[in-house]
Amino acid sequence: MEIIARFGIFETALTVDKAQAPVAYSAEFAHSGMRVTVPAFRDGDDRYLVRFMPCETGEWSYTIRLGDASSSGTFECVDTGLHGPVMADGTHFRHADGKRYLPFGTTCYAWTHQPQEQQDQTLQTLKTSPFNKIRMCIFPKSMPYNNNEPELFPFHKGKDRKWDVNRPDEHYWRHLDKRIAQLSELGVEADLILFHPYDRWGFAGLSQEESLTYLEYCVVRLGAHHNVWWSLANEFDLLPSKKQKDWEEYAELIGRRDSYCHLLSIHQCIKFYPKRDWMTHCSIQSGDLCRIPEWREEYNLPMIIDECGYEGDIEYSWGNLSAFKMAHRFWYSVTKGTYCTHGETFHREDEVLWWAKGGVLHGESAPRIRFLRQVLESLPESGAPLVRRIITDPNDSVENAGQETHPIVKVMSELTDAERKYWKLRFTPNIIAGKDFRLEYLGYQCRSVTTLDLPEGGKYRVEVLDIWEMTRTTETEGAYGQTRIHLPGKEGIAILTTRLKGEGLE
């Protein structure tokens, strides 16, 4: 009996007569009362494939229907350690098997459209990087520093020289399958961008009917990969040919055709997409990170600042962050209760910029991002996702803790509702806390001392973290009550307080 990994892919091929009239091909998979039907998809003129990702161990049976005929079989599903698709969990993420997932993403829009040797180099770079998610386009991308012609395209052209979405180029899709599988081996999620406006080949101009045909093929073919996410668009609001009803239709199709409920988002340039039930999380473009609490309150979904600017030195305003500012935005986002995505845009005469084409990293932020990831992964989870501490009353702010009255309270009481909301959100400190820890990021503050109010009866370790030097220094061990801490008096410092010996941290 064939053995398939849990969250792996069962695949079988069907050979058909090219002269035969089109018929429906599908397969039904059954296990312990569970039944899942998936359509077959074309993989060449005379070849169809059936793919299925089993989510439970044990024996599965299947029946493949080829028009009026059928065939059947069984396979054994075993646990090999794959964690399965990432899913939303409150305002954070988990794998299907329950393992916590902390997204540390990067952006390489057109890396699979580059020469093969460069693609291999990108994978090698990812292997030693801190990144476990990559934003990437299905269609090639045309914009500054993106002027090369791809070797393969998603579809063949018809006699009219226009793309024929009913004739997928199997060589392109097999190649994409291979790259997604290689990302899986590295533990990297493939955040697939389905549409974008940066085009010179005609993909952005597909009709709605053509777009739906392409989208259905893409979802049916790639959906069995456990490490796939769907992003309806990069900068949807820059595609004027597509209206909101079109995006809603795409989301409805994915919900209907994706048997595995992969994550689904939509990304904006300026105009935010309104909250919808089909959204599993928010994919946001903005450098105005102080608005994170506002967005979290509005959407109440997991949130990734997928485009906050890029570390680099090119002429465009979005592509010349310092390495410190890139690392700072990761720490700032995380301690506001959300996540951030990296990108790199250093000018090169060969125009091989990581943000578009992959290759190798030249910047200094990646090691600092790795340091943050190591810190977060070292924190106890206590059976729940990380949560942010929300300050909704100025009198509860860290600086004013314990004071019954403060002039700011009177001022707040005289504001309009809109003004009060604005300032309450901005009084939210950069803190995440659980039962056993509290992590505060000071950002651009240059404090030399601070006082912590640790609960009586507990004992705590207090560490000072330097996000640039990537150091964790224990300032005191066994602290409790009012505790004065000395700090380096520089930017990029965080304070981590951790419970000792089972004592609680309130």
Q: Which of 290, 284, 286, 330 is nearest to 428 (CA)?
A: 290
Q: Provide mean pLDDT across the span 253-272.
A: 97
Q: Residue 286, Cβ neighbours under 10 Å: how many?
A: 18
3-state DSSP percent of the chain in helix, strand and coil, to 5: 25, 30, 45
* Least confident interval from 64-68, 86-90, 291-295: 64-68
* Beta bridge mates, 451: 484
What average pLDDT is seen over the chain?
A: 91
Strands 449-454 and 481-486, sheet pairing: antiparallel
291 close to 324: Cβ distance less than 8 angstroms: no
Token couple for 41: 């998809």
User: Above 50 in pLDDT, residue 431?
Assistant: yes
Residue with tokens 């150091």: 471
Return the CATH number of 387-499, one of 1.10.3470, 2.60.40, 2.60.120, 3.30.2390: 2.60.40
Q: What is the pLDDT of residue 503?
A: 54
Q: Provide mean pLDDT across the span 206-230.
A: 98
Between helix 323-334 and helix 365-378 the angle, nearest 10°, is 20
Q: What is the pLDDT of residue 16?
A: 78
User: Above 50 in pLDDT, residue 399?
Assistant: no
Q: What is the pLDDT of residue 18?
A: 66
Q: DSSP assignment of 390-416, as one string?
A: P--SGGGSGGGTT-S--HHHHHHHTS-
Written out in words, the top-level CATH class of the domain with range 98-363 is alpha beta
For 2-78, CATH gives 2.60.40.10
Give start and end residues of each alpha helix (H) in 238-322.
Answer: 244-257, 292-299
CATH topology agreement for domains 2-78 and 98-363: no
Residue 15: burial class (beta carbons within 10 Å; 0-12, 13-18, 19+):
exposed
Using alpha carbons only, give the angle 6, 9, 11 rounded to the nearest 5 degrees: 140
27 close to 40: Cβ distance less than 8 angstroms: yes
- pTM for this model (two decimals): 0.93
Using alpha carbons only, give the angle 41, 47, 49 rounded to the nearest 5 degrees: 40
The structural domains of the chain, with segments of one domain joined by +, span: 2-78, 98-363, 387-499
